[in-house]
């Protein structure tokens, strides 16, 4: 097995648009919820040769800690054995691991699940599908939590850490170490060859569900942020959330064709996306078109809009797209081929 598994997809619904996106993306693996189990042969065909299908029971969207691990293992085995191909079983989803008692319960459940899948059904497992930013706390807290979860890490075939790139209430991307590089905070015994990220993309903090579409960004900015995180650490990818979900509340995360094409290009080694740059408080290093935000700031201020300290923020820019953060929100600046540009202000939520 390669150190990094490559591009993945998450889907709990299958329709013609989902199939079209799968054919464009050609992922190496897919996390497939029960809403799409009846379409597994078509999903396999859309994905390409010998894809890994990770079977996840979504249910009510909870972690699954109250389900019987033996019963879930049987359910997933029954689906996997109904089709030819390569399958794995998904354990708990973002379980509570905030306290020693919660970690003990989650570890017990997943060890029971792994034992039944391995010893009774011969089915591979994906466990420790932990929410982005967890385990939380100081490095000492993280080390303690990881040690308590180590038996699951050692027993499962794959570790499915969720590695979203989070944004704050202003829509500004947070530290990669807190988000997409969270596995770096695990102890040295962490086996990166097991890491198979089962959810990634753009999400918000503090219970706010953002999704890249809600941010108002062009797809290239959300995608570029993720891919450049991968470039810096040699990561090939993870399962993008999502290509099809049963509930419309997740539409703000839905992939489009542009993202699918660029992710495939990165996965196959021919991506030409430019690398973004972050500049803090140094206007002389900022592209000229970004400085046009001053005029818009003055116009909004005259209208009574509090745009905050617009000139003392951070600049995050690509050749034709930029963000400038302020104390009360952020400016999104798009450059046009004719040299003109558009500036939009997004206040804090």
Mean pLDDT by runs of 10 across the 349 residues of the chain is 68 96 95 97 94 94 93 96 95 97 98 98 97 89 96 97 80 72 88 91 77 69 70 74 89 89 83 56 51 69 67 52 66 67 66
Please tell me whether residues 90 and 225 are part of one structural domain. yes
Please tell me whether residues 33 and 163 are part of one structural domain. yes
Burial per residue of 306-340, b for 16 or more beta-carbon CB atoms within 10 angstroms, e otherwise = ebbebeebebbbbebbbbbbbebbbbbbbbeeeee
Please tell me whether residues 218 and 260 are part of one structural domain. yes
Boundary residue ending a domain (267, 297, 318): 267
Q: Where are the beta strands (DSSP E) in the chain?
A: 8-11, 29-33, 52-56, 86-90, 124-127, 158-159, 165-167, 202-204, 239-244, 277-280, 314-318, 321-325, 329-335, 341-347
The pLDDT of residue 120: 96
Neighbours of 33 (CB within 10 A): 22
Please tell me whether residues 124 and 231 are part of one structural domain. yes
State how many domains the chain has: 2
**For the chain, how far is it from start to end, CA to CA, in angstroms?**
43
The pLDDT of residue 292: 61
Boundary residue ending a domain (267, 290, 306): 267
The pLDDT of residue 222: 65
Please tell me whether residues 79 and 208 are part of one structural domain. yes
The answer to whether position 272 is within a domain reads: no
Assessment of whether the complete model's pTM goes beyond 0.75:
yes
Please tell me whether residues 197 and 317 are part of one structural domain. no
The pLDDT of residue 298: 73
Which residue range forms the structural domain that includes residue 339?
277-347
Please tell me whether residues 132 and 252 are part of one structural domain. yes
The pLDDT of residue 310: 45
The answer to whether position 3 is within a domain reads: no
Please tell me whether residues 174 and 299 are part of one structural domain. no
Please tell me whether residues 294 and 157 are part of one structural domain. no
The answer to whether position 115 is within a domain reads: yes
The answer to whether position 250 is within a domain reads: yes
The answer to whether position 151 is within a domain reads: yes
The C-alpha atoms of residue 138 and residue 151 are separated, in whole angstroms, by: 22
The answer to whether position 137 is within a domain reads: yes
Please tell me whether residues 299 and 335 are part of one structural domain. yes
CATH number at 238 reads: 3.20.20.80
Residue 232 CA, chain-centre distance (Å), reads 16
The pLDDT of residue 348: 58
The answer to whether position 19 is within a domain reads: yes
Please tell me whether residues 262 and 335 are part of one structural domain. no
Please tell me whether residues 157 and 297 are part of one structural domain. no
The pLDDT of residue 42: 97
Specify the DSSP element, H or E, that contains 79. Answer: helix 69-80
Boundary residue ending a domain (221, 246, 267): 267
The answer to whether position 202 is within a domain reads: yes
Q: Where are the beta strands (DSSP E) in 205-340?
A: 239-244, 277-280, 314-318, 321-325, 329-335
């Amino acid at each position: 097995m390669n150190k990094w598994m490559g591009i993945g997809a998450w889907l709990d619904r299958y329709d013609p648009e989902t199939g079209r996106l799968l054919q464009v993306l050609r992922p190496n693996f897919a996390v497939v919820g029960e809403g799409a189990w009846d379409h597994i042969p078509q999903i396999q065909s859309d994905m390409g040769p010998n894809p890994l299908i990770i079977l996840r029971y979504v249910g009510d969207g909870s972690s699954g800690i109250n389900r019987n691990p033996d019963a879930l293992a049987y359910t997933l085995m029954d689906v996997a054995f109904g089709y030819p191909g390569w399958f794995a079983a998904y354990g708990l989803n973002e379980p509570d691991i905030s306290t020693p008692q919660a970690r003990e319960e989650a570890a017990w459940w997943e060890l029971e699940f792994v034992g039944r899948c391995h010893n009774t059904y011969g089915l591979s497992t994906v466990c420790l599908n932990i929410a982005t930013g967890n385990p939380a706390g100081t490095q000492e807290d993280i080390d303690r939590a990881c040690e308590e979860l180590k038996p699951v890490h050692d027993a499962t075939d794959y570790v499915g850490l969720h590695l979203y790139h989070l944004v704050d209430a202003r829509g500004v991307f947070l530290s990669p170490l807190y988000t997409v590089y969270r596995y770096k905070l695990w102890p040295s015994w962490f086996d990166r060859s097991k890491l198979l990220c089962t959810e990634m993309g753009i999400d918000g903090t503090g219970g706010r569900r953002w999704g890249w579409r809600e941010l108002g960004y062009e797809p290239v900015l959300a995608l570029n942020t993720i891919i450049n995180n991968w470039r810096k650490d040699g990561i090939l990818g993870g399962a993008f959330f999502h290509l099809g979900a049963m509930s419309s509340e997740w539409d703000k995360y839905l992939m489009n064709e542009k993202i699918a094409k660029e992710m495939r290009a990165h996965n196959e080694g021919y991506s030409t996306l430019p690398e973004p740059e972050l500049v803090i408080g140094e206007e002389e290093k900022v592209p000229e078109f970004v400085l046009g935000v001053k005029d818009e700031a003055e116009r909004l201020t005259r209208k009574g809009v509090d745009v905050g300290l617009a000139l003392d923020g951070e600049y995050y820019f690509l050749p034709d797209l930029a963000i400038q953060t302020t104390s009360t929100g952020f400016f999104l600046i798009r450059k046009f081929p004719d040299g003109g540009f558009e500036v939009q202000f997004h206040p804090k939520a």
